[in-house]
Amino acid sequence: MTNQKYALLDVVKNKDKLIPFDHLDEESFNPAILELIAKVKETTNGITESKSAPSWNNIIDKLDDAEENLNFGWTIISHLNSVKDTPQLRKIVNELLPSISELYSWLGQNEELYAKYKELRDSDAGKQLNKTRQRILERQITGFVLSGAELSKEDKTKLSAINEESSQLSQKFSENLLDCTNDFSLYLPEETTQLEGVPESEKQLFKQQAQKEGKEGKEGYKITLHMPNYLPIMQYAADRDLREQLYHAYSTRASEFSPAGKDNAPIIERLLELRSQEAALLGYKNFAEVSLVMKMADSPEEVIKFLRELASKAKPAAKKDMEELLKFAKDDLKLEDPKAWDLTYASERLREKKYSYSDQEVKQYFTEPTVFKGLFGLVEKLFGIQVEETKAPVWAPEVKYFVIKDKAGKEIASFYADLYAREGKRGGAWMNDQRTRREVNGKIQTPIAYLVCNFSAPVGDKPALLTLNDVETLFHEFGHGLHHMLT
């Protein structure tokens, strides 16, 4: 095992190779990103000062090359911050955010660069571009307008300050939520009756979590607010007080009930103020109009109309379902006044009664190897590809790495799968891209994706079990991954 540390700048320069996640030198992160930012600015100045006729190659490609290197390095840092948050990584991200924000404000508001893009669009070379490139060019020009390229110098300064504050507040929001999730732990004795109704596999998970901390006996079970802990309690725990305790803790994360400095309400209010200011600067009535410029709907009113029409169709059925649920809770579960923490539990009991079906029973058929076999079999049939697991440096022992090959066995893409919830990892599920498919120096650069979920980890030596909702989530996120990897 080597103790060699790899500098981030060297990793970026060799981005055709696997990222040595387990041996990255975090001390190199800040200087690398600052150097890459400087390179983007240098490249941009070279483009704007050039007297050559504008073309796709000497504008779009040049800037893409410089920005891709920066994005490659920054994505490594931000990805690690989201899946294995540490004080050191958090410090690095917060130190770099102002510089990243300042760069993209400078790029988006650069009048000379904006003029080059418009000159290319209106030139003969621009008119001869294929429809895809013309579409990309038009959207980038719209992006300049939304970034404030046409604003006065004073308003540009205001918008840049809004962008910087917004990025810092968004990061703080995520940190508060993660901290408040991680800070909660409930320990129960091994002989407790409070876990009555909770499936044995979940109790074994709680026990495994306690054992990792060297706890047993009076603290034999450890329950957290991560979804693989929280949801089974809400679904299966017969103890109403336990459900209420978990529900209250989960629902009040990063709120006025949290420790000083962890309340996200002021952050939300300030972000709304900043978005309103941004919209006004750009000449829009509200931020919803700004958001829709790059989207399919034409106006906020159109979106609201669609939602209200959808609600009018869905509400009668939802109301009927709720009435049935409340009656069942009262008649069968003897809950005279069902509360929010009772509804998930009652829903699971009603489903078992009506359909002889439970998430826990179905999970036994959805072992992780079985689900992946089905998922890969489907995409191999649909797209004529092969998916193979292989070895690669990773940021956590349970992370897996896969390559995608075409029918001839040539590697065309790859992805990391980080499936299980753990402390220091942001909640939810998402796909993110590490590297994009491009032609670089006459060779095709293959794309890399991150597939991140928060499923329940395996217990003991048994494979992880996925709920039906987990399976849907995995397919959903892998769909985003395929969009990135096969485009």
Kindly list the catalytic residues: 477
Cβ atoms of 217 and 187 within 8 Å: the answer is no
105's tokens: 């404000």
Residue tagged 């600015």 (tokens): 41
Question: Residue 250 CA to chain centroid, in angstroms?
Answer: 20
Residue 222 has φ and ψ, to the nearest 5°, of -115, 125
The rounded distance, in Å, linking the Cα atoms of 17 and 377 is 28
Cβ atoms of 467 and 434 within 8 Å: the answer is no
Question: Residue 457 CA to chain centroid, in angstroms?
Answer: 19
The rounded distance, in Å, linking the Cα atoms of 165 and 45 is 26
Assign 130 to helix, strand or coil.
coil
HSE, CB side, 13 Å, CA atoms: give it for residue 106: 13
Residue 164 has φ and ψ, to the nearest 5°, of -65, -45
**Residue 149 carries which side chain, given as an amino acid letter?**
A
The 10 Å CB-count burial string (b at 16+, else e) for 368-378 is beebbeeebee
Angle between helices 340-355 and 240-251 (to 10 degrees): 120
Quote the DSSP letter at residue 255: S
Tell me the pairing of strands 411-420 and 448-455.
Answer: parallel
Count of other CB atoms within 10 angstroms of residue 297: 14
The rounded distance, in Å, linking the Cα atoms of 267 and 271 is 6
Listed as own residue / partner, the contacts of 156-162 with beta carbons closer than 8 Å and 24 or more positions apart are 156/105, 156/109, 158/277, 158/281, 159/105, 159/109, 159/278, 159/281, 159/282, 160/101, 160/102, 160/105, 160/106, 160/109, 162/274, 162/277, 162/278, 162/281
The rounded distance, in Å, linking the Cα atoms of 297 and 289 is 10
Q: What is the DSSP string of 332-362?
A: TS--SS--HHHHHHHHHHHHHHHHS--HHHH
